[in-house]
Structure 1
Amino acid sequence: MTPRFDRRVDRLRAALWVAAVVILGVLLFVAYSYAGTVILALFIYYVTRPIYSRLRRVIPSRTLAVFVALVVVTLPAVVVFGWTLALALQELFRFAESGALDPYRGYLQPYIDFSTLAVDIDTLVREGLRLVESGPPTNGYLQGALDALAVSFGLLAGVGIHLFIALALAFYLLRDDHRIAQWTRETFGLGGTVVETYVRTVDRDLKNVFFGNILNAFLTGAIGTVAYTLLDAVAPSPVVAIPAPALLGMLTGVASLVPVVGMKLVYVPVFLALLARGALDDPAALWFPLAFAAVSIVIVDTIPDLVLRPIVSGRTLHVGALMLAYLFGPLLFGWYGVFLGPFLLVVVLEFARVVVPWLLDPERDVTTTLPEFRTVEGNEDGVRDRSLVDPTEEGAPSK
């Protein structure tokens, strides 16, 4: 090659590097603008991946297996959780409107916008009932109902769009993650390097966090919400009625993340309060606090702990660090901080465990310092689980 040709090639390569940096910047900007949607898609991916891996044994088509995993398993879970969250938010709005939070508004205002907290869903119901009772609108009831409907529709439409994008991203991640991993390994030559070890370890921890801890909390919260809502429907008197049953159920799910005591932090004080109120004001209704305790211990606490946790959990991270991530994530980033906080914890923690020792001693074999890494290819049942860094899947033709 002539020096002139070499200079042209160098200029072309430099221009392409600039273009690559610009494209990467655009992609990062889009991901930042839709950070909540992207991290939700990642959560759906890790929750669905173990189920999808088992469906691939009986469904030869990769695309069909992903579709079945998302539609049959994930979408119903999203609907149940959405319904549970809606009930809990409704209870929270009523609790806020009652004035009970007024002494704490100054402390909560940086994190909760009380001016927009109570989304006017109840207004739509009230205006609809007024229309039914009073007949044709004559004094602005219809306009009030339409305004409430517009607010509710706009909110639901926004949530629906972001959920659709998250499901679409999760769909293509599930179907094509092996192709992305193979292209990355071959293009950048990452096979057998510290980068591959780091990505594998992060992938394992994210699976344990998302599919294990958070899913266990969500399912426990859903069980608690349904159980307490149904139990409250048969309360013999308002004196011993369960306070905010849906919100209480969600709090049990959050408390399940706390080791040892867990949900007892929530339902034991409520049981004692109901027992005291019943003994003082309505002794004939004392059976209801006892029924509440039985439902809490058996259905809300014991069954999820014995059935769900062994299936979905596999702790490889410090529980205290996870609790801090769950606590500070929503405070720093908003609703999606529930997912982004643990994600950042895993990324930073495994960087310190895997990459930093290698930076200090490049001759060090990182895998020998991570004994748990040797089992990343299989679970406790000896079933091989797919990973973002697996280039192929045995016996699984690409469709």
Structure 2
Amino acid sequence: MVGGLNIDRARTAWWLVGLSLGVAVLFVVYSFIGTFVFGIFLYYATRPVYKRLRRRVRPASLAAATALFALALPVLLLMAYTGAIALQEFNNIANRTDLDVLQTTIQPYIDVSSLARSPEELLANPDPALVSEFGKAALEYVGLIGNAILHLFVMIAIAFYLLRDDHRLSRFFRRQFGDEGGVVEAYLRAVDRDFNSIFFGNILNALLTGTIGAASYNLINMFAPTQVVVPYPTLLGLLTGAASLIPIVGMKLVYFPVSAYLGAETAMADPAFLWFPALFFGVSLVVVDTIPDLVLRPYVSGRNLHVGLVMLAYIFGPLLFGWYGIFLGPMILVLVVHFVRIVLPELVAGEDIRPWAVDPTYLFEPETPETRTTETPGVETAETDAVDEGVGVSHQ
């Protein structure tokens, strides 16, 4: 009893300790928010592959490592190289136009991107002086490169442990925060489903499409006539990937105008080479636009978020948070939308939170032979847990 109030000093002290620890954790996450968000993206991007590997590869650690190092790491390195070349092409554009403010902001990244030399340059001129110049340039940015490698390691570590232990994490949350109405499980299911749709469906599709576009346009330029070439092919390819996030029209906003530009340039230079704009348009339509859409469309379909809200999240996310905003913006959107849809109506009405009061069609996906084996998102069967943990299965 303190000042007439019934205050348990021990509980108050523990609450203060818990609050301090929570603030410390939030500070760490805030300081490395981009790393944590990208690690979550890697988890969702590789989880479908991991689930298939898990049926054939044991233990779970080996399946998770295989999924990350066989799929995620090569794709990340390829996208990093493509981004470095695109930065150099942007620098060339900035030198010819008035983009001083933007160029000053990204100048450090442009300097580092100079380490990425085109493979044909290194193969065509294996001069020791060129190798020495490359080595000296790398030493100048060893600190920045080391920091990038450290962040990459943390991203992969986050994705690895989420892949391997997501079922245990889900079980912990259900035990600690679960309620009789099942609202926590319903909310987590809805969030997990849309995270998978956004990260594996939309963003991974945009990143892969941008990389495919950059490779395709550079390959087209190898057969281009001397009179006309695809301008800044790597940067243009990445722009097509970014434009694929826009509903309906998508990357057509990029390659349609470029095709018209190439057609006009070719017609004025030499109409005999009009096959080249047609080739560019055909490759853009089939290889860059149609094929990635057909391959990843099954994973994108079935999402419940309004396309306009998703598009705004992709736009405002990077503007507010920086490069990682393209991942963090949609994450915040998903968390808010499902809170408003599942929890808020009952909170406002002052009633018990009952997730089944919402149409279950929007909360749970239809059961299939694949989904029937899981209890909650990312949760494996109890038998699988028993194999991993080396214990018998107990049923309550």
TM-score calculated relative to the size of structure 2: 0.85
One of 164, 168, 180 as aligned partner of 2:157: 168
Residue by residue, what CA displacement relative to the aligned partner does 1:348-389 show, whole Å, maximum 9, x if unpaired?
12111112112023246323424344534756x754586875
Which residue identity lines up with residue 72 of structure 1 in the other structure?
A
Q: Is the 8 A contact 1:48 1:69 kept in 2?
A: yes
Which residue identity lines up with residue 108 of structure 2 in the other structure?
T
SS in 1 for 2:111: coil
Shift of 1:17: 2.0
Distance 1:340 1:273, change over 3 A: same
Where does residue 369 of structure 1 map in the other structure? 358
Cα RMSD after superposing both structures: 3.1
Where does residue 393 of structure 2 map in the other structure? none
Which residue identity lines up with residue 267 of structure 1 in the other structure?
Y
Residue by residue, what CA displacement relative to the aligned partner does 1:133-167 show, whole Å, maximum 9, x if unpaired?
99989xxxx8x866632344333222111010011
The 2-side partners of 1:135 and 1:314 are apart by 55
Q: Which runs of 5+ in 2 are unaligned?
A: 2-6, 390-396
One of 367, 372, 388 as aligned partner of 1:398: 388
Distance 1:159 1:385, change over 3 A: farther
Q: Is the 8 A contact 1:40 1:166 kept in 2?
A: yes
Shift of 1:265: 0.7
Where does residue 290 of structure 1 map in the other structure? 278
Which is worse superposed, 243-252 or 171-180? 171-180
Which residue identity lines up with residue 315 of structure 2 in the other structure?
L
One of 190, 195, 199 as aligned partner of 2:184: 195
Distance 1:370 1:75, change over 3 A: farther
Q: How does 1:1-399 map to 2 (within 5 A)?
A: 10-97=8-95, 99-100=96-97, 102=98, 104-105=99-100, 108=102, 113-116=105-108, 118-119=110-111, 121-122=113-114, 148-190=137-179, 192-237=181-226, 239-361=227-349, 362-363=351-352, 365-376=354-365, 378=367, 382-384=370-372, 392-396=380-384, 397-399=387-389
Shift of 1:242: 0.3
Shift of 1:122: 3.4
Distance 1:213 1:121, change over 3 A: closer
Shift of 1:51: 1.6
Distance 1:258 1:277, change over 3 A: same
Which residue identity lines up with residue 338 of structure 2 in the other structure?
E
Where does residue 6 of structure 1 map in the other structure? none
Q: Is the 8 A contact 1:177 1:388 kept in 2?
A: no
Relative contact order, higher structure (CA 8 A, sep 6+) = 1
Shift of 1:336: 0.8
Distance 1:161 1:250, change over 3 A: same
Distance 1:385 1:225, change over 3 A: farther
The 2-side partners of 1:167 and 1:377 are apart by 32
Work out the percentage of aligned pairs sharing the same amino acid: 45
Shift of 1:271: 0.6
SS in 2 for 1:398: helix
TM-score calculated relative to the size of structure 1: 0.84
Which is worse superposed, 297-306 or 10-19? 10-19
Which residue identity lines up with residue 155 of structure 2 in the other structure?
A
Which residue identity lines up with residue 276 of structure 2 in the other structure?
F
Q: How many residues align?
A: 378
SS in 1 for 2:250: coil
Shift of 1:171: 1.0
SS in 1 for 2:388: coil
Q: Is the 8 A contact 2:87 2:113 kept in 1?
A: no
